[in-house]
Amino acid sequence: MTPPDAPAAAPPEMSRLLPLERLDREGSVEVEIVADAAECAALAARFDLVAIQALSATLRVRRTAIGDVVMTGTLKARPVYVCVVTVEPFVGSVEESFALRFAPPGDDAPTDRSAGPEDEDQPEALVGDALELGETVAQQLALTLDPHPRAPAASLDEEAAAAAARIAGAAVAPVNPFAALERLRRGD
C-alpha cells in the first residue's frame, strides 16, 4: 500500500497495455506501436530533446513454457538533437532491435533461461495482469539516444580536435601555428 503522503506515480507518456491473459489465449502477439504527436512531444521533454519527429516499434510478445514473457522488437525513431559542436538542432535516426524477458514476481529459482540471446540479462518482474508496452518502448528509446549528438556535417577545428584528443589521452602531433596561414594561402 502506498503511504498517503507519497507522490502518485505519473502515468507513462506513451501507454500501450497488453493484457497477459491474451498471451495465455493466443500464445504469441504481434503489436505495432506508433506514437502520436502528443506522445512524441511528451517523450522529447522527458529525454531533453528538441523534438521527436517519429517513433514506432514492431513487437512480438510470447509466453515461454516456464511462464516467462519474452518481448522482441525493433524500434525506429527520428529524434531532433542539439549538436554538441554547432549547438544547432538536427534530425538523428535510431533503429535498434532489442529483446527483453519478464518473469513472475518472486521467481528467483535458478530455472534454465539460457534458450537464446534474449536471455543475457536478468528478467524484469511482471507486475499486475498487463504488460506496459509503451513505457518499455520509451525506455528502449532512452537507451539508444546519443548522449553527445554531433550533426553529420559538424566538424571541429584543429585546435579543438587536438584538445579533445589530449583529453581522451590520445597522442597528438603538436598544432603547427603556421598551418592556418598555409590553408589561407592555398585558398582552402
pLDDT value, residue 26: 84
- The boundaries of the domain holding residue 174 are 156-188
Domains of the chain: total: 2
Is the pLDDT reported for residue 126 higher than 60?
yes
182: left (phi over 0), alpha (psi -120 to 50) or beta: alpha
Same domain membership, residue 57 and residue 104 = yes
pLDDT of residue 119: 47
Asked if 99 contacts 165 with a C-beta cutoff of 8 angstroms, the reply is no
Residues 32 and 70 in one domain: yes
Whether residues 33 and 121 fall in one domain: yes
Question: In the prediction, which pLDDT does 116 show?
Answer: 53
**98 and 187 co-located in one domain:** no
**Is 169 found in the same domain as 117?**
no
Query: Are 40 and 108 within one domain?
Result: yes
44 shares its domain with 133: yes
9/99: higher pLDDT: 99
Predicted confidence at residue 1, as pLDDT, reads 43
Residues 44 and 118 in one domain: yes
Q: What is the pLDDT of residue 2?
A: 47
Percentage of the chain exceeding pLDDT 90: 51
